[in-house]
Chains A and B, each alone.
Chain A
Amino acid sequence: MIEIDLDTSPLRETNRRLQTVGANDNARQFRLFNPRGAHAVAAGLTEDLEVTVEGHVGFYCSGMNRQAKIQVTGNAGVGLAENMMSGEVRVAGNASQSAGATGQGGLLVVEGDTSSRCGISMKGIDIVVGGSVGHMSAFMGQAGSLAVLGDAGNSLGDSLYEARLYVRGRVESLGADCKEKEMTAHHLEKLGRLLDRARISANPRDFRRYGSARQLYHFKIGNLGAY
């Protein structure tokens, strides 16, 4: 375990160190202290490292992550795990807007709440939120899944493509072209596996499933007169 105090080690230097760990290097576990809301903590990692950040981080923490397992003991600011490719990011507190935005893969777990636009334009990432998500979550989501144990704010899944959404609590409103769908045995199993992977305890049967109504996909011949 390598310990790095961000009060004394510049963030850029620290990130470069984490980004340049080689595939065969032995030192793969890091603990960062005193982030004090700094931006882009542990962003751009490409190796299967284990990084724990003790405290609250600012914007864009763990962005573009590939393979690394990153854990934050406090809260995270805007754009947490943005465009994550693979690996796992876990936040013990709350996360701000656009958590997991455009994520292509990997697992993001926020044990608390996230605010608006969680999973916006998600492209394959799996997101599990222990609390509630804010408005416009999963906006234009293309692939992957979002499971929310609490409530979802207004316009959930607006203009959704094919991402799967599961909500245990109340959905304030569904966005355009998002509708409730049947929770089949197949989906119960998928959600069960996702919750297990996220180490979040909940019964899949308590969730409702939402997905794309697929009405915005194609040009409608009835609109021809508009051109």
Chain B
Amino acid sequence: MCGIVGLYAKEPAFGERLGAHLADMLVEMSDRGPDSAGVALYRQPAPADGLKLVLHGPEGTDWEDVRHALAEAFDPHVSLERRGSHTVVMLTAGLAALRSWLAEAQPALRLVSAGEVIEIFKEKGHPCEVVKQLTLRGLSGSHGLGHTRMATESAVTTEHSHPFSTGLDLCLVHNGSLSNHNRLRARLRKAGVEIQTDNDSEVAAGFLAWRLAEGDSLEEALERGMTELDGFYTFAIGTKEGFAVLRDPIACKHAVLAETDDWVAMATEYRAIATLPGAQEARIWEPKPGQIYAWGA
């Protein structure tokens, strides 16, 4: 059992308080996932030609040191902003070069997300605590996804938490379980897809990343996912412009969608949506099995 939430601001004014609303939704889904929580927020684009990264470092990481090293290796104007155990980095650099530099010079740091606008934060612990640690309530944004995890398939660690990055400005959250993830993981690794953990959902993320890299549109990648991923799932996929929702063809896992003039929301249960202003008057419906729903994406 896990909880998923997604929120898309149709009106910029609503986006001003996106973090607070997403936090309320996430906390409401705590019973469904008390082991860990995470969010992907789409906000504050990196400067032109720049890159926005989120790095996770172990306790005691000297971030000032990291900043100096990044300034020296890539960009003297690099900026760092701490958020709990995560740090948002904005700089001008090539992602491939940055990846190999990280592996060599800062092996203790983990790249959580990369893109122009995406910021992924995830941590083990109760969603209430995670929300506080990451100071989520103060953040604005255009849209975001969140996940509360009750682990069934693999260990409770920050690395096993959702969302999973699936490429530049892309991420995936998953409620359910996949049964063919071992075989698929081996196949994806052979195709050169980097997979960090033994988590089933990360394989789904890796699968999408691989298909998108091969030139599929998001819709094509999801359609193909329906034939290749065996198991139960409700996926929410974040993109630079919005998000998409897909349930498995027999709709084993719950999902509900709602829309008002100000926002579009998805959640595993309506009570997460009930925390939003105007929820009582929203148009509410259940997404059909095997059908892709997308906003902005």
A: residues with CB less than 8 A from B are: 36-39, 55-56, 58-59, 74-75, 77-78, 93-94, 96-97, 115-116, 134-136
Contact = CB atoms under 8 A, between A and B. Distances in A.
Contacts of B216: none
Contacts of A134: 251, 288-289
Given A58-B271, A94-B286, 7 more contacts: A37-B273, A38-B271, A77-B270, A97-B254, A115-B251, A115-B286, A116-B289
Contacts, number: 50
Interface in B260-296: 269-275, 280, 284-286, 288-289
Size band of the B side of the interface?
10 to 19
B251 A36 contact: no
A74 B271 CA distance: 13
A37 B269 contact: yes
Given A55-B280, A75-B284, A115-B286, A97 B251 contact: yes
B289 A58 contact: no
Contacts of B289: 116, 134-135
B66 interface: no
Nearest to B284: A75
Nearest to B290: A135
A59 B274 CA distance: 14
Nearest to A37: B271
A135 B270 contact: no
B256 interface: yes
B250 interface: yes
Given A55-B280, A59-B269, A97-B254, A37 B274 contact: yes
Contact of B274 (A36, A93, A97, A116): A36
21 contacts: A37-B271, A37-B272, A37-B273, A39-B271, A56-B274, A56-B284, A58-B271, A74-B280, A75-B270, A77-B254, A77-B270, A97-B254, A115-B251, A115-B286, A116-B289, A134-B251, A134-B288, A134-B289, A135-B250, A135-B289, A136-B250
Contacts of A36: 271, 274-275
- Chain A to chain B: the 6 pairs with minimum beta-carbon distance, closest first: A37-B271, A37-B270, A36-B274, A37-B274, A115-B286, A58-B271
Nearest to B273: A37
Nearest to A116: B251
Nearest to B286: A115
Nearest to A57: B270
Contacts of B270: 37, 56, 58, 75, 77
Contacts of B256: 77, 96
A37 B29 CA distance: 12
B288 to A, nearest CB: 8
A75 B286 CA distance: 11
